[in-house]
Structure 1
């Protein structure tokens, strides 16, 4: 049922720019398609270095609302083991389901100003749908790293706290064809120098 969500994205360009002098820094990510248009909802992940004790937390809430018969946000990143709230802000009822490997579940119909929650103990991508409204789709990316971000309308994502060095970067997007709709590359961030990574997406 959810496989129809995966379409073709011909070619993508990922630019990652590090901004710092020496220690942990802020990295700004931009993702573009073949036409040079920004790609929204791409998730960029970098694993923590060996021995890292940094907690996997993010500044946003672990919540995905239903508003105007749309999942908001369309793509949500949460730490492994988190419970996600699904508040219904619509005037109609919704029923949420997923057939994805990391989380197969169904939340029965519930109405306006009601909230349901679901725990996500396994990393990976969870594609969401609504049994009542076929056009609704959303994605939860469950991660085990604090270095993750989703791109916005301008194709930009920001990852804080990265140290200079070579990093393995995983990029996921629902329209990226390949195993798990993701690709893996390496990225070198040098002190005071912007880092740039170009990838091809089918």
Structure 2
């Protein structure tokens, strides 16, 4: 019995590196971001693709600079940006082409009053028709989130993307995640030490 408990404790302790690696991965996603390019009309143009269960973004100005005004879908997909985009100029205008690859999704940014629904593709089509939207970013340094606001299945909560305006705003996600991991590891070590001493 004592031997079994020790094996369980050793297994639990081996989970600590996994928790640390997980924390690093989350921070990496929240971390560095891509700086978008403006068109000659001083506006941003982005293609947004939604599917179960992710949101992808493609800087169309960057794509056109590389491949001209009529790039293929494969060429567009060479320039995928996920999770976090910025720094956008404060108060600037951005144009979205929002597509669905499967079911109907939403694309919403609360801070600018944007909430659009995608058009699901017809049988035999890869994407539905685009939903077009134009918004103006806030005239301040802020980090805002885009998300799917139409329930689309189990992975629906994971459909998020961040946009950094100017210098962005302070984010508490990664530090809070690290704090929770540290507290759990400390509790695990404390309990493991107490149990280990008792069974010895």
Point out the structure with the larger helix share.
Answer: 2
Of structures 1 and 2, the one with the larger relative CO (CA 8 A, separation 6+) is 1
Point out the structure with the larger strand share.
Answer: 1
TM-score range, shorter chain: 0.3 to 0.5
- TM-score in terms of structure 2 length: 0.42
- TM-score in terms of structure 1 length: 0.41
